[in-house]
Amino acid sequence: MSKEPPVQWELKQNNVGKTKTAFVADIEEKTRKTSKDLYREKKARQEAKKHKEEEVHISGLKGGQRVKIVSMEEPVSQVTEPTETKTKKGKIEKVRGKKYQEVKAKIKTGEKYKIPEAIKLIKKTSYSKFDGTMELHIVVKKTGINAQATLPHFAGKEKKVEIANDETVKKLEKGKIDFDTLLATPDFMPKLVPFAKILGPRGLMPNPKNGTIIKLAKDANKFKGNSLTLKTEKEAPLIHTVVGKVSQEDSQLQENIEAVIKALGGEKQILRAFLKSTMSPSARLAIA
């Protein structure tokens, strides 16, 4: 049986004089399908859509390659120290260990402790097996604060202070830095400019803000091993510094803390201050 040609008709537009021809073979083809055929096609499209939603593209695969999502049980963590968990809102919170929670209960939330009380409390709640470091974390009124403090009872590593000279330039040319603080006189500063990219990121470039540009060589005595540079973070009014070791006497730690607070201007500049050790909760200090 010969195949019938597709049905067609002509529409003539009188004002233009052109003829348009439309083929209706596709329409006729659709009318030949039964309701059962149409139902099968609908189910096939639904299955294809569902299958597509179950696929996920993995970065690193070649174009077009996909892998189905598979589920697995999450292994039980063996870590008992601080871990992270997600809340209902998706915010990540730290989950502290049992030992931390026990010592945390000894410090009252929102309570302001006088410096002597805070020192005793932090020593009592410090649970590290090693000699922990006493840390002071301070919130100040604005960023850009830069101050120099000298600890009366320094217990850390002795810092090496160097006054920039020609030997310093030779070391910097070789990429060698064997000092913790670099001082310079104003007339020597142009020789250090070529090394700004090396010294700047390490906080070693002499500048007037932290007092590392000195007039006379004898002024270097101000920068002993027990001196600290107190500086806020770049984008936040926060200062973090070390004030001693847990093993130090309470009176020594108190004098060190008071020296830092005084260097920063006391309650005029400080909004809040917290004392803690390497492994302990923090206690808020009463500055006034």
Residue 16 has pLDDT above 50, yes or no: no
* 3-class DSSP state of 161: strand
Residue 254 in any domain: the answer is yes
Q: Calculate what percentage of the chain has a pLDDT beyond 70.
A: 70
Residue 40 in any domain: the answer is no
What integer is the mean pLDDT of 149-154? 86
Residue 121's CATH number: 3.30.190.20
Number of domains composing the chain:
1
Residue 167 in any domain: the answer is no
Amino acid sitting at position 50: K
Six token digits for residue 110: 């929102």
Cα separation, 177 vs 164, in Å, equals 12
Cα separation, 227 vs 149, in Å, equals 6
Contact (Cβ atoms closer than 8 angstroms) between residue 213 and residue 185: yes
Residue 137 in any domain: the answer is yes
pLDDT at 179: 86
Domain of residue 278, residue span? 107-155+227-288
Residue 256 in any domain: the answer is yes
Residue 27 in any domain: the answer is no
pLDDT band at 60, cuts 50/70/90? very low
pLDDT digits (tens, 9 = 90+) for 152-192: 888 766 678 889 999 999 999 998 998 888 899 999 999 99
Residue 232 in any domain: the answer is yes
Residue 103 has pLDDT above 50, yes or no: yes
Q: CA torsion, points 39, 43, 46, 47, in degrees to nearest 10? A: -170
**Average pLDDT across the chain, whole number:** 77
Residue 187 in any domain: the answer is no
pTM: 0.53
Between 251 and 5, residue with greater pLDDT: 251
- For 9-39, the DSSP string reads EEEE-TTT--EEEEE-HHHHHHHTS-HHHHH
Cα separation, 207 vs 181, in Å, equals 12
Between 63 and 109, residue with greater pLDDT: 109
Contact (Cβ atoms closer than 8 angstroms) between residue 24 and residue 6: yes
